Amino acid sequence: MLVIGSIMLQRTLVLGTRSEASATGVRQGQLTGRAAAAVIRVDDAWVRQDRGVLVMTVCTGNICRSAMAEVVLRERLQAAGLDEQVEVCSRGVSDEEEGNPIDRRARTVLRAHGYGGGEGHVARQVTASELPGCDLVLAMTAAHARAVRRLARGADVPVVMYRSFDPSAPQVSERDEHRLDIADPWYGGPRDFETCLCELEAAADQVVEQIRQMLGDAKR
């Protein structure tokens, strides 16, 4: 298991580019609930001014792994009573699925295990402008982690492997991060999506505990 340690939270968190604001509701990846009242528009980005934590999950196209991780983490955070203080969004390093919904097979396995099916999800490519606002970026593979670190261009953005929070996963150096890769289920069938969800769930509780620690550090 990986422990990041004390992380200084920013007061202003950039949530990513949006073309339109909705007065009646928001899609996944945007602020929800009480936090929505604190959103303003600055230079084509959604910005929240309240104090909180922004977590981003990242995979290739943002229709399978990262989208499933977003759903799992949102529900775990809600169960922990932290959903009003934490925003979770997901992105892809590629634009190949831009604008598409969550993969139907991912939706099926999520619903089969009692989660929401990612309704309203719209795949988006991660951009350099939104990374400085992230308090924690969770990569599905080492290749995704490298891509996000390059995009961050030296900004102080914690980019870590999602599975590094799995207590049963091996402890590895950055050079060996590939040992923590979550395989892309897109190329497989239902069993591959089941395996993906199991790996996401195995790390989810420790991700929540890390976020709880980050929120505690921010109050000191």
DSSP H or E segment with residue 90: strand 86-92
Handedness of CA 116, 56, 174, 98 (dihedral sign): positive
Q: Which of 48, 64, 65, 89 is catalytic?
A: 65
- State how beta strands 53-59 and 136-139 pair: parallel
Residue 206 corresponds to which tokens in the numbers above?
């420790």
Q: Which of 48, 59, 166, 196 is catalytic?
A: 59
Q: Is 43 a catalytic residue?
A: no
* 3-class secondary-structure state, position 47: strand
Q: Which of 18, 27, 51, 184 is catalytic?
A: 184
Crossing angle of helices 104-112 and 190-219, in 10° steps, is 70
Check if the beta carbon of residue 189 is closer than 8 Å to that of residue 27: no
Q: Following CA atoms 55, 56, 57, 60 in sequence, which dihedral angle do they give, to the nearest 10 degrees?
A: -170
Q: Is 65 a catalytic residue?
A: yes
Q: Is 212 a catalytic residue?
A: no
Catalytic residues: 59, 65, 184
